[in-house]
């Protein structure tokens, strides 16, 4: 009996040791899995937490948000994902100074005109001869005058007001209307036009003073100024308001 008991006790201790080893190995495997799980979770959280410029460094640099062109540096690809590591980031809102509203007001480019008006010139004409040279001189002097609807002075002028004011300096009285000016004039062939004749759009929406070579002086539109420019349409005709002596 004593020999059988000893043998049984020896078998039981061997089984106990094998059982302990199995338990130890299972515990080690669980510990490794837990560590890997924590490591993976931490990496994903860090990736999500990266700011948007970490995924588009070129856009960030072009927007001027970085200290220099080496704002970010891509790490080695990991499982198909390249993570950008931030090297340097600097943000600046810039500087500004307060300004008074008067600084943004549009100031006239010339002193306010206080000279003779059309009525004054009709009473005492400035020019005694109606020539192309004199007409071009009078027309060119008004270049830069701002367009003002209904205006007929160098302080502000519209297209028919411009023609009216120029011709008043020669003692020629005209109505302030494209249509009426055209109807009171002689229509001539375009090939016979000379500088000083009047360019009239066929729909009577606009007119100006012919300057030769397909150009005319005119007061274009609100926001613009009197200028010398090409006749920008082929839908026009020429009228003559006075006998131009050349």
pLDDT tens digits for 73-127? 444 444 444 444 444 445 455 555 555 554 544 444 457 999 999 999 999 999 9
> Quick one: pLDDT at residue 26?
72
Would 92 be classed as within a structural domain?
Answer: no
> Quick one: pLDDT at residue 197?
98
Domain count, the chain: 2
Segment 184-194 mean pLDDT? 97
Domain containing residue 165: 118-240
Domain shared by 70 and 162, yes or no? no
Domain shared by 38 and 136, yes or no? no
pLDDT averaged over every residue in the chain: 78
Is there a catalytic annotation at residue 176?
A: no
Would 218 be classed as within a structural domain?
Answer: yes
Which entry of 149, 176, 206, 237 is annotated as an active-site residue? Answer: 206
Is there a catalytic annotation at residue 237?
A: no
Segment 181-199 mean pLDDT? 97
Domain shared by 48 and 144, yes or no? no
Is there a catalytic annotation at residue 30?
A: no
Which pairs count as long-range contacts for 183-186, CB under 8 Å and 24+ apart, including other chains?
184/241, 185/239, 185/240, 185/241, 186/239, 186/240
**In whole angstroms, what is the distance from residue 90 CA to residue 18 CA?**
62
Confidence band of 69 (pLDDT split at 50, 70, 90): very low
Confidence band of 246 (pLDDT split at 50, 70, 90): confident
């Amino acid at each position: 009996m004593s020999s059988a008991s000893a043998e049984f006790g020896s078998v039981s201790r061997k089984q106990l040791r094998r059982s302990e080893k199995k338990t130890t190995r299972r515990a080690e495997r669980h510990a490794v899995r837990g560590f890997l799980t924590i490591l993976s979770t931490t990496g994903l959280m860090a990736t999500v937490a990266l700011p948007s410029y970490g995924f588009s460094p070129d856009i960030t640099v072009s927007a001027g948000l970085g200290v220099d062109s080496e704002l970010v540096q891509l790490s080695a690809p990991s499982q198909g994902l390249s993570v950008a590591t931030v090297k340097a980031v600097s943000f600046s809102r810039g500087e500004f100074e307060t300004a008074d509203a008067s600084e943004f007001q549009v100031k006239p480019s010339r002193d306010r005109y206080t000279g003779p008006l059309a009525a004054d010139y009709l009473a005492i004409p400035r020019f005694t001869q109606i020539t192309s040279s004199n007409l071009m001189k009078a027309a060119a002097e008004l270049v830069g005058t701002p367009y003002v609807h209904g205006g007929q002075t160098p302080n502000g002028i519209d297209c028919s007001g411009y023609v009216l004011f120029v011709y008043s300096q020669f003692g020629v009285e005209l109505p302030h209307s494209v249509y009426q000016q055209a109807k009171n004039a002689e229509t001539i062939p375009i090939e016979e036009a000379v500088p000083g004749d009047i360019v009239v759009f066929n729909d009577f929406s606009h007119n100006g003073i012919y300057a030769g070579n397909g150009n005319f002086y005119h007061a274009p539109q609100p926001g613009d100024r009197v200028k010398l420019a090409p006749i920008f349409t082929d839908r026009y005709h020429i009228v003559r308001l006075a006998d131009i002596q050349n």
